[in-house]
Amino acid sequence: MELLFLGTSAGVPTRTRNVTSLVLDLQHPTRSELWMFDCGEGTQHQLLRTAAHPGKLNKIFITHLHGDHLFGLPGLLCSRSMAGNIHPLTIYGPPGIREFVETSLRISGSWTDYPLEIIEIKPGVVFSDDAYTVTAAALNHPVECYGFRIEECDKPGALDGAALVAAGVPFGPLFQQLKRGESVTLADGRTINGADYLSPPRPGKKLAIFGDTAPCENALALASGVDLLVHEATLESAMEEKANSRGHSSTRQAAMLARDAQVKKLIVTHVSSRYDAEGCAMLLAECRTVFADTRLAEDFATVRV
pLDDT confidence tier of residue 171, bands split at 50, 70 and 90: confident
176 pLDDT above the threshold of 90: no
Residue 53 is labelled as binding a ligand: no
pTM across the whole model: 0.90
What is the pLDDT at residue 29?
79
Residue 260 is labelled as binding a ligand: no
173 pLDDT above the threshold of 90: no
- In sequence order, what are the residues at sequence separation of 6 or more whose Cβ sits closer than 8 angstroms to the Cβ of residue 301? 4, 5
Residue 270 is labelled as binding a ligand: yes
Give the integer Cα–Cα distance in Å for 207 and 135.
Answer: 11
* 2-154+203-304 has CATH 3.60.15.10 classification: yes
What is the pLDDT at residue 269?
98
CA distances from 251 to 49, 82, 99, 208 (A): 29, 41, 34, 17
What is the pLDDT at residue 224?
97
9 pLDDT above the threshold of 90: yes
Helices (H) and strands (E) in the chain, counts: 9, 18
For the annotated catalytic residues, the residue numbers are: 68
Residue 64 is labelled as binding a ligand: yes
The answer to whether 282 and 236 have CB atoms below 8 angstroms apart is: yes
From-to residues of CATH 3.60.15.10 in the chain: 2-154+203-304
- Taking Cα atoms as reference points, which of 10, 82, 46 lies closest to residue 239? 10
pLDDT confidence tier of residue 125, bands split at 50, 70 and 90: very high
